[in-house]
Amino acid sequence: MTGALKSPKSLKDFFEYDFPETPYPTFIPLGFAKKIKEAGPESSLWKQFLPSELENSNDGLEDPIADEKYLVAGQLIHRYHNRALFLPTSKCPIVCRYCFRKNELYEQNRIFDVQFDKVLQYLHANEQINEIIFTGGDPLMLSDEKLKTYLDSFSNVASIKYIRIHTRFPVILPERIDEKFVELMSNYSQRFSQINVAIHVNHKDEITEEFKESVARLKSIPKLDMLSQSVLLKDINDCPNSLASLMTQLSELGIRPYYLHHPDSVKGATHFQLSLEEGSDIYLKLRRILPGWQLPHYVVEQAEGKGKIPATNFRA
Ligand SMILES: *Cc1c(COP(=O)(O)O)cnc(C)c1O
Ligand code: SF4
């Protein structure tokens, strides 16, 4: 990928700002960096993607959702009976400061070995799995050719009916969703019952003209539905009105609000955390503003990798 900021010097020069030292890498494509700079240091964009002194805290966990426990065939996380996560890459188009994998990212494939033959063997042996969820990292980091190879293989497994792709690209690098990609996905949408693209978007400031255009291109793909997922983040989107505006705008663009994730306790990102009580209060207010069909599921990961449950269950 050309044109990205990553060295401390390039960040300082571009943003004309003195950032603190932290142990975590920074990576921001130039086009999106311009948007962050325009928005300024108090904005939701700046706080989500630029280094902060607060990252130096030692609170929180290194692997909060215990992925490794459910890792099979080197590249699948099989936690739910009929669906499995597929992890073809650990790279992303940007580094989010709140990332739940922030202590693993860019340590190349520390936990995920590439053993694609084993993945296919596992799927053939486990015909109850009918959905493959591409995640990572961000699966759209892969070239179209590589995506094609994987989609070809999965379309030859008779039990796989659904494909889901979790991505932040429409926000960060919307030009990735180009005509070639649309053509590729249009070919494959005939070979599965349904393809879902789950777009990671946290704040209405992320809905730019370029975002809308990439969403319109996705929408032109037959049998493809768009979902959203957002992380509830302190001082970013912890406001019912702001969240309601995000969900309304997403739904007007044809994206169904799907998940609002309660933040995990991640080392280096605990300044984004809220308590479940605070989160539930925000969600119940959001519930009053939005009709049910624009309301995302508010979920939290249970300890020891046991999976997501409704976060309001924790409410006393
Ligand atoms: C969230 C998640 C899924 C997808 O679950 P849905 O309920 O289908 O959204 C699948 N596998 C793992 C490991 C997950 O964490
Ligand atoms: S896109 Fe997701 S996996 Fe990648 S850095 Fe952001 S939160 Fe982490």
- Flag the least confident range among 217-221, 223-227, 298-302: 298-302
Please determine, for residue 109, whether its predicted confidence score (pLDDT) is greater than 80. no
Distance from Cα 216 to the centre of ligand 1, integer Å: 26
112, amino acid identity: F
174 C-alpha to ligand 1 centroid (Å)? 25
Atom of ligand 2 nearest to the CA of 102: 8
The model's pTM: 0.95
State residue 80's pLDDT score: 94
For ligand 1, atom 13: residue with the closest CA: 79
Query: How, if at all, do strands 308-310 and 131-134 pair?
Result: unpaired
Residue 162, ligand 1, Cβ within 6 A: no
How far apart are the C-alpha atoms of 75 and 118, rounded to whole Å? 9
Give the model confidence (pLDDT) of 268-315 as tens digits.
999 999 999 999 999 999 999 999 999 999 999 988 878 899 998 765
Q: List, edge to edge, every strand of the sheet that includes 83-86.
A: 71-72, 76-80, 83-86, 131-134, 162-167, 194-200, 224-231, 255-261, 297-301, 308-310
- Per-residue pLDDT reduced to its tens digit, 229-251: 999 999 999 999 999 999 999 99
Return d(Cα 302, Cα 271) in angstroms, integer.
Answer: 20
Q: Residue whose CA is closest, atom 15 of ligand 1? A: 307
CA separation for the pair 273, 60 (Å, rounded): 10
pLDDT at 112 over 80: no
**What share of residues in the chain are helix, strand, coil (percent, to 5)?**
40, 20, 40
Bridge pairing between strands 131-134 and 162-167: parallel
How much distance in Å is there from the Cα of 95 to the middle of ligand 2?
A: 6
Q: Is the CB of 297 under 6 A from ligand 1?
A: no
What confidence tens digit (pLDDT) does each residue in 34-91 have? 999 999 999 999 999 999 999 999 999 887 766 678 899 989 999 999 999 999 999 9
- Measured from the Cα of 78, ligand 1's closest atom is 13
Q: What is the pLDDT of residues 152-201, one digit of tens each?
A: 999 999 999 999 999 999 999 999 999 999 999 999 999 999 999 999 99
Is the C-beta atom of 96 inside 6 A of ligand 2?
yes
Mean pLDDT of the region 86-111: 82
Query: Is it the case that residue 316 has pLDDT exceeding 50?
Result: no
Q: What angle do CA 35, 283, 38 make, to 5 degrees?
A: 10
Contacting residues for 307 by C-beta, under 8 A, at least 6 apart: 79, 80, 301
Torsion (CA) 16, 33, 202, 302 in degrees, nearest 10: -80
Is the CB of 99 within 6 Å of ligand 2? Answer: yes
Q: Which atom of ligand 1 is least distant from the CA of 70?
A: 13
Residue 105: predicted pLDDT = 58
pLDDT tens digit string along 4-22? 999 999 999 999 999 999 9
Q: CA 3 to CA 27: how far, in whole Å?
A: 10
- Cβ of 165 less than 6 Å from ligand 2: no
For residue 108, name the pLDDT band (cuts at 50, 70, 90): low
Rounded mean pLDDT, 135-160:
96
Q: Ligand 2 centroid to 101 CA: how many Å? A: 7
Higher pLDDT, 139 or 114: 139
Q: Which residue has 């992890």 as its token pair? A: 87
For the CA of 172, the nearest atom of ligand 2: 1
For ligand 1, atom 8, the nearest C-alpha belongs to 83
Output 144 or 90, whichever has higher pLDDT.
Answer: 144
The phi, psi pair for 154, rounded to 5°, reads -65, -35
Which of 92, 95, 202 maximizes ligand 2 atoms within 8 Å of its Cβ, making it the mutation to test the pocket?
92
| pLDDT score of 103 | 84
Residue 297: per-residue pLDDT: 98
